[in-house]
Amino acid sequence: MKDGAFFEVEDGGAGGARLVLSGPYLVSTIGAVDSDLRSIEGDLATVDLSNVSEIDTVGAWIASSLAKRHNAEIIGASERAQRLLAAVEPAGDGADIRAPRLPVWERVPERVGELVHEFGQGVVGMVGFLGQILLAAGSLIRHPSRFRGKAMVHQLELVGVSSLPIIGLMSFLIGIVIAQQGAVQLAQFGAETLTINLVGRITLRELGVLMTAIMVAGRSGSAFAAQLGTMKLTEEVDAMRTIGISPIEALVIPRILAAVLMMPLLGFFASCIAIIGGAVIGDLMLGRLRKLAEEHPVIGDVRGRGAMIAIELVKEDKTPDTEALGKVLSYCHSQGLILLSAGTYGNVIRMLPPLVIGDDLLNEGLDILAEAFARL
């Protein structure tokens, strides 16, 4: 005996074929015979449900669909099956199962209008919220005793102290990236020593405060929204209004003041950490230059004077030993000690014979450098 749904097509003679459905016709069992039922062709006289043990809405819809498709009559239905057949009969096979959709020339203007309306509502809500904040601030100024100092201290801890690890980590990595990428690009001009200047200017002027604002908005701002949204959902805000406590004074003002007070401190902290990160990369990549400067003090003068010396020689039309000066400039440029610009110094380099000092000529290059300084 079969456990699932099955069917048989019996020859009814001159009256036409008879489709006999047997077993449970439920959503969990009808899948095994669904494709076979759909492949039945020709007219049927009756669809017999007398052997159906169980039936649900899906089974009733299948039986009703078969009866309509083959112009057959449903017989042998139980009382439950009759109720389900009566419920699914209005749907039929020709029912539209897709949601109505307007044409594109109507849908696009309608959506644009909805967006404009939502934007207007957002502006009105923002202005209203700003007005509530101003009124609450004025009320606290008139009645300072109502200001919640403990709540503000708690928010200062959440916004400021708790944010130090993530802001420090991000700023340190940003400083490393800026220093590494800047040193690689500046090396093409022999100006690796300006990497720390680059990190300091970028972090103190722009990226330090910008990244801090982004992280505070993403971390503390989302926390504020989650807390206040949960309180609104659990009707705590309504309860505060009921007992005479202003939600703006108790919940909003402390958070705004905490964010305003902590942002400058966090920005300065982020800039300092970014500079430390840049200093780490600078020490790793440029430590060789510092070591050379300590071993050969004359190189320290080249950092500030080398390019100007070469320019002045050309401007004043002096004729020093060009080969010696070429060695000096080539050595300094190979060690990253002179800033190569696109102006006069570039012309000087093209006028001098190209020569790169190797490690075996290090002492000779230093002697030539000292001699060049002595002649000026």
Report the pLDDT averaged over residues 271-279: 89
What does the pLDDT look like over 44-92, one tens digit per residue?
Answer: 778 888 888 888 888 888 888 888 887 778 888 888 888 888 888 766 5
Give the model's pLDDT for residue 270.
92
Q: What is the 3-state secondary structure (H, E, C) of 50-86?
A: EEEEEECHHHHHHHHHHHHHCCCEEECCCHHHHHHHH
d(CA 332, CA 297): 13
Residue 48 phi, psi dihedral angles, 5° rounding:
-95, 120
Using the predicted structure, report yes or no on whether residue 324 has a pLDDT greater than 80. no
Lowest mean pLDDT among 20-29, 184-193, 310-319: 310-319
Using the predicted structure, report yes or no on whether residue 33 has a pLDDT greater than 90. no
- Token digits for 337? 């000690």
What does the pLDDT look like over 282-304, one tens digit per residue?
Answer: 777 666 445 544 544 444 444 33
Report the pLDDT averaged over residues 214-222: 89
What's the half-sphere exposure (Cβ side, CA atoms, 13 Å) at 149?
A: 2
37-66 exposure pattern, b = at least 16 Cβ within 10 A, e = fewer:
beeeeeebbbbbbeebeebbebbbbbbbbb
Report the pLDDT averaged over residues 210-224: 90
Give the model's pLDDT for residue 127.
94
Q: How many residues does the chain have?
A: 376
Residue 2 phi, psi dihedral angles, 5° rounding:
-80, 140
pTM exceeds cut of 0.85: no
Give the model's pLDDT for residue 181.
87
Residue 329 phi, psi dihedral angles, 5° rounding:
-65, -35
Give the model's pLDDT for residue 207.
87
Lowest mean pLDDT among 31-35, 171-175, 176-180, 210-214: 31-35
Lowest mean pLDDT among 18-27, 100-109, 231-240, 365-374: 365-374
Give the model's pLDDT for residue 119.
95
Angle, CA of 121, 127 and 133, to the nearest 5°: 135
Q: 121 pLDDT band (50/70/90 cuts)?
A: very high
In angstroms, what is the C-alpha Rg of the chain? 42
Give the model's pLDDT for residue 367.
54
